[in-house]
Structure 1
């Protein structure tokens, strides 16, 4: 499964202190792009964080104590298109940003109100819920508060499920204590390719705990979601602490399986010959045997990959995630979620024992992907995750400015 925007940020304690020292103030104005009039009470936020504000009557906003790093600054206002601009915060000096918003209008200048073409089919919406929120223990404590804003479509010919929202999708996570508004959501699930992709510009809001016990439970659950996550691993790569943080990274090669072509050809030929007649018992055994021949083989190199085969450090100090083939990443300091079914099992093979460790597979979709000092991928769409990281979804989604309260053991 693709983890498009679920690049969950890890901040180790030492880095958290550095971030506080390098925090800055971000301010600016939101205006109508045509009339240049200020837009009061517009929502402005840094995507994937808890940092947001509302513009005043002059369309002005201020975001204080913004940690150093690269962000998407997003503005939203009813009747206008979502605006997004990339910003980099690198020091204590305040920064000014202008955010022009274009009206959502027709050729006649009338505001377009996007309406639902039809009601969602219950089975399609349920599949979207399972793939978007996830099937983890934490996901069971998540709910979408505005389901009528979600538009789900299934294309039977492409075998693909897509979803979008009229404005935003509001998700309440009672496991982690967050409410998030997911603006500009693009969701697709291609069942033929076994690929799920979703991305957008979410903003987080901390829920108010009802008791000290709930506050502590949320803190514990956030730490659980954080340990062993993709960004925990990426930050350990950036800081050269892969083994120290409990990770084992190994090379995994996927190569063609030579017998597959002949087995697949024989299976298809036999099935074509019996389109209108039944297969004999021996022929059924042959079809089953040929179907168990996989198109590819996986070769696992047991030795841990050295750091220089995981990343590249440029002369200017920038760090890039870079490796060949696939990366098999094992996290040994926390067991998998009890609801994790394990990786896909080979057809006809014996049942696999319950997994005892969190094992994920990582693939680079580009030659390399830049890592920021906080462990965030500059382009989250540059990687594809499978197995355990693919199992985790919105139930484990943490804001970029989340920082653990204690060192990771």
Structure 2
């Protein structure tokens, strides 16, 4: 009996390994000299999957789960390379790169910033807008802030980084490398984009590890990613796909709006203003109506990437967690206020995956609470939330 159980457990272990053994490896060299490059950062954007090249320019990324990724290759003094990838179970990719060198200008690091009052004021504006004014955002430190430069006029504020930003987040337990592509504040609207790599910090105690885990759960709950994941789960309960068509299940009417409805179970209350088709700046609360029988998620080109589509403006209230006091004070909201966010699609539909990741950053416009949470509350794509 013991041998049978042992064999069964080993078999299960080997089966689980077979589903996690996708890997990417290769070599990175200088384009002009063909010499190997040491210490090149190579990572999947917005994840903890990353590595650096060895003395011969080789790298390996192991145990990559299936999904859509952007592979980023970065080294100071060289142009950044990016590659879109779709990875399935048990695949191996050979990815070699020849990086083109670029000149490093003497003014790429602002050596006068320490004493420049204008720079300090601009940096304060950037940090608050970029990292956020939540507890997590306020705790973050940009280690190499002097690679930042700023420009502004009456209605537009811009920031640039000559090198990747190094950010430490002591509340969530991550070190973040952020390759800033763009950042601007225009008419009080904040927009930024870039590629980032998360590295787990080493906890000094079990107590700190537990704190990080709790803070990560809190950062996830009520987030846009949490909401999209819940919508997808709801779609799966409501419909089955037959010959490429979504057919409503017979038992859906007994689930919708009740405890087994994923939106209800996870604490989301959804309303719509279908009059607001173009996202006017003025939000009229009396125009919102509760979600009834509307379909929000549709089959995509494959089962792993459904489509989000709706008309007008969506109001999402998260009822299982109170807003931070700082938000109530900033927005002059009453203590009874609940986490309320507003979503507007800037396209007819937006692809996302089953874990709530979407790949066009400006296609879902956020207002309200979810837009207040910035990089300081961001989690890696491969973070797994377990609702206990």
Whether TM exceeds 0.5 here: the answer is yes
The reply on whether 1:84 has 2:77 as its aligned counterpart is no
Q: Corresponding residue for 1:153?
A: 151
User: Taking CA–CA contacts closer than 8 Å with sequence separation of 6 or more, which of the two structures ends up with the larger relative contact order?
Assistant: 1
Instruction: Tell me which of 368, 377, 384 is aligned to 2:349.
Output: 368
The reply on whether 1:171 has 2:167 as its aligned counterpart is yes
The reply on whether 1:251 has 2:247 as its aligned counterpart is no
1:305 Cα deviation after fit: 4.7
How has the CA–CA distance of structure 1 residues 324 and 295 changed in structure 2, closer, same or farther, with 3 Å as cutoff? closer
Between the aligned partners of 1:343 and 1:233, the Cα distance in structure 2 is: 24
1:38 Cα deviation after fit: 2.9
User: Residues 47-66 of structure 1: matches in 2 within 5 Å?
Assistant: 47-66=45-64
Between the aligned partners of 1:352 and 1:48, the Cα distance in structure 2 is: 32
Note the alpha carbon deviations across 1:276-303, whole angstroms, 9 max, x for none: xxxxxxxxxxxxxxxxxx9674553332
Q: What is the CA RMSD across the aligned residues, in angstroms?
A: 2.6
How has the CA–CA distance of structure 1 residues 320 and 363 changed in structure 2, closer, same or farther, with 3 Å as cutoff? same
Between the aligned partners of 2:42 and 2:169, the Cα distance in structure 1 is: 22
Deviates further, 379-388 or 333-342: 333-342
The reply on whether 1:380 has 2:327 as its aligned counterpart is no
Q: TM-score, normalised by structure 1?
A: 0.76
Q: Corresponding residue for 1:233?
A: 227
Q: TM-score, normalised by structure 2?
A: 0.80
Between the aligned partners of 2:157 and 2:18, the Cα distance in structure 1 is: 42
Note the alpha carbon deviations across 1:309-340, whole angstroms, 9 max, x for none: x1111364341111111110111111111211
| 1:185 and 1:200 in contact (8 A); partners too | yes
Count of matched residue pairs = 338
| 1:43 and 1:77 in contact (8 A); partners too | yes
The secondary structure found in structure 2 opposite 1:66 is coil
1:65 Cα deviation after fit: 0.9
| 1:253 and 1:298 in contact (8 A); partners too | no
User: Residues 193-212 of structure 1: matches in 2 within 5 Å?
Assistant: 194-212=188-206
1:371 Cα deviation after fit: 1.0
Note the alpha carbon deviations across 1:204-237, whole angstroms, 9 max, x for none: 1111112111111111101100111110001111
Q: Which has the higher helix share?
A: 2
1:342 Cα deviation after fit: 7.2
Between the aligned partners of 2:347 and 2:317, the Cα distance in structure 1 is: 22
1:98 Cα deviation after fit: 2.5
Between the aligned partners of 2:197 and 2:18, the Cα distance in structure 1 is: 20
Q: Corresponding residue for 2:23?
A: 25
User: Residues 121-140 of structure 1: matches in 2 within 5 Å?
Assistant: 121-140=119-138
The secondary structure found in structure 2 opposite 1:67 is coil
| 1:152 and 1:163 in contact (8 A); partners too | yes
The secondary structure found in structure 1 opposite 2:130 is helix
User: Residues 391-406 of structure 1: matches in 2 within 5 Å?
Assistant: 391-404=372-385
User: Residues 260-279 of structure 1: matches in 2 within 5 Å?
Assistant: none
How has the CA–CA distance of structure 1 residues 343 and 135 changed in structure 2, closer, same or farther, with 3 Å as cutoff? closer
| 2:328 and 2:334 in contact (8 A); partners too | no
1:367 Cα deviation after fit: 1.2
Residue ranges of structure 1 left out of the alignment (5+ in a row): 1-16, 106-110, 257-293, 345-350
